[in-house]
A and B are shown apart, each in its own frame.
Chain A
Amino acid sequence: MPGPRRPTGSARARYAGSTVCSGLQLPAGPTPGERLCSTEEATAGSGTYTRHGFIFSSLAGCLEKKTEDNELPVVSVVRDSESQLLPNVGAVVTCKVCSINSRFAKVHILYVGSTPLKSTFRGTIRREDIRATERDKVEVYKSFRPSDIVLAKVISLGDAQSNYLLSTAENELGVVVARSEAGVPMVPISWCEMQCPRTHTKEFRKVARVQPQFLQT
């Protein structure tokens, strides 16, 4: 149960000194609406907004100031425990296929970049957005299957009826992890096929090209 307020001297001192300090993250940082500095001294980063020529904080977190070489320092407010990210247009997201259709595949968006989302968002990959070449000869059944993990890019936030629209029309996008009919994780052998290591059957998927830094040779 909350007890009576007891102001602690250390908290006061930290707050009084928690103005902008380059490169350090100070605890007990700014609160929403606190004026940080003017726009001539720094540029606004994430978690801040500008008004009347001043930069204000919009989160209750830690203040960060990053100094670049030639440009103005970037001031941002960070809450490192949780970050409320939403998929933006152009972001690469990791999603899981939940159902497929002859026209599209419905997915659950799990990660945006490398940060997990707390509540899942729904997305759609249309048939013509699966590949970049021969877009109308694509068969969804030969590109994705339910419970595949897919890397995709957000192309639109969608209108009233549809969810987020995603696209895998690039070499680095597509199926990353898939299980075969036997339930074993499959190994990719080309951009359109994956093979099960136990039964050696090949299945069709639109496979994402592995980035060179992740290849072990």
Chain B
Amino acid sequence: MPLDHRRLRGPEESQPPALWAGTAAEDEEDEEGAGAVPRDPCALRPLFARAGLLSQAQGSAYVELGSGTKVLCAAWGPREAAEPGPGRLLCEFRRAPFAGRGARGRPGAAAEREAEREAAAALREALEPAVRLGRYPRARLAVSALLLQDGGSALAAAVSAAALALADAGVEMYDLAVGCALCRPPAPAASWMLQPAEPEERRAAARLTLALLPALNQVSAVLGGGRGGPPEDWAQALRLGLDGCHRQYPVLRQSLLRAAQRRDAAAAAGAAAAAATSA
């Protein structure tokens, strides 16, 4: 029989790698569920934020949460648009191919692109009330968020990073938008938890993402759903989320101030070097 050269034939004796990968993940989950101390539901993960790190974009920001979520965001200032009226904000959200744990179902599938488009629409809904679009008529502002590692509360981190990037780009804003995520485990009388990690988010019965403008005390976006219990529980979850946003706000502001200092120092050094070479 002639050999079929169009197919790659593996060895006769082979086993799927998922056999080993599946057991490893289950071991971790059992350990966490059974032996771990129940975490404080109001505890915020450590947050790291830095603005002004990309040179290719006018504004950029990097936000990292303690659970391992890493988001990199870039923003570009006003460019010409064809439509009349106030300016428009174009948001894009992308997941890196290595962002999630385990294998991707089908790389490049429509479901992935749909999820990215939904996340981009959520980003836009959260950021639009914060940006002074009326000051940029006939202009287009672009924001692009890249999720490098998903450790839970990815959309909330992306909202904070995008607001920081826009402020770093010099776009006039009413306030910084701060994002916070909550989830509720499927146990019957469980309470809402702030900033879930990825295994908690996967097992959650209800998830919620909030975006808040802290100085004006206005909520710009509320997204989520699930089986969360009576409406009073949802209201209590909202209040918990707003409190979480307020607590994260000083860290983000400090990162903006440091970026401004670094920029001023670099400009002063550049001017001194130019004066030295010309003199």
Report which A residues bind B (CB closer than 8 A): 2, 4-5, 7, 11, 15, 27-29, 31-35, 47, 49, 51, 56, 58-61, 79-84, 86, 118-122, 157-160, 164
Contact = CB atoms under 8 A, between A and B. Distances in A.
Interface string B156-177: 0000000000011011111110
B263 interface: yes
B170 A82 contact: yes
Contacts of B207: none
List the 3 closest pairs (A to B, CB-CB), nearest first: A33-B175, A33-B215, A32-B173
29 contacts: A2-B53, A11-B258, A27-B261, A31-B253, A31-B256, A32-B173, A32-B174, A32-B175, A33-B216, A34-B253, A47-B172, A49-B132, A58-B172, A58-B173, A58-B174, A59-B170, A60-B167, A60-B256, A60-B257, A60-B260, A81-B267, A83-B170, A84-B78, A84-B170, A86-B78, A86-B139, A157-B138, A160-B83, A164-B138
Contacts of B83: 160
Given A5-B48, A33-B216, A35-B215, A122 B170 contact: no
Given A33-B214, A35-B215, A60 B168 contact: yes
A4 to B, nearest CB: 8
A12 to B, nearest CB: 9
B118 interface: no
Nearest to B51: A60
B171 A84 contact: yes
Interface in B42-64: 48, 50, 53, 58, 62
Interface of B: 48, 50, 53, 58, 62, 77-80, 82-84, 130, 132, 136-139, 167-168, 170-176, 213-216, 253-254, 256-261, 263-264, 267
A34 B84 CA distance: 31
B215 A56 contact: yes
A14 to B, nearest CB: 8
Nearest to A79: B170
Could you say which of A11, A60, A159 has the most chain B C-beta atoms within 10 Å of its C-beta? A60
A127 B147 CA distance: 51
Contact of A82 (B58, B172, B215, B264): B58
A2 B264 contact: no
B214 A122 contact: no
Contacts of A80: 267
Given A15-B257, A31-B257, A121-B80, 11 more contacts: A4-B48, A5-B48, A7-B254, A27-B260, A28-B257, A31-B167, A33-B176, A33-B216, A56-B175, A80-B267, A160-B82
Could you say which of A34, A58, A81 has the most chain B C-beta atoms within 10 Å of its C-beta? A58
Contacts of B53: 2
Nearest to A77: B172
A27 B79 CA distance: 28
B261 A11 contact: yes
A142 to B, nearest CB: 29
Could you say which of B79, B215, B257, B267 has the most chain A C-beta atoms within 10 Å of its C-beta? B257
B178 to A, nearest CB: 10
A97 B82 CA distance: 20
B132 to A, nearest CB: 6
A119 B261 CA distance: 26
Contacts of B254: 7
Nearest to A118: B77
A58 B48 CA distance: 23
B174 A33 contact: yes
A39 to B, nearest CB: 16
B84 A160 contact: yes
A82 B84 CA distance: 25
Contacts of B259: 60
A134 to B, nearest CB: 32
Contact of A32 (B58, B138, B167): B167
A163 B11 CA distance: 65
B257 A11 contact: yes
Nearest to A85: B78
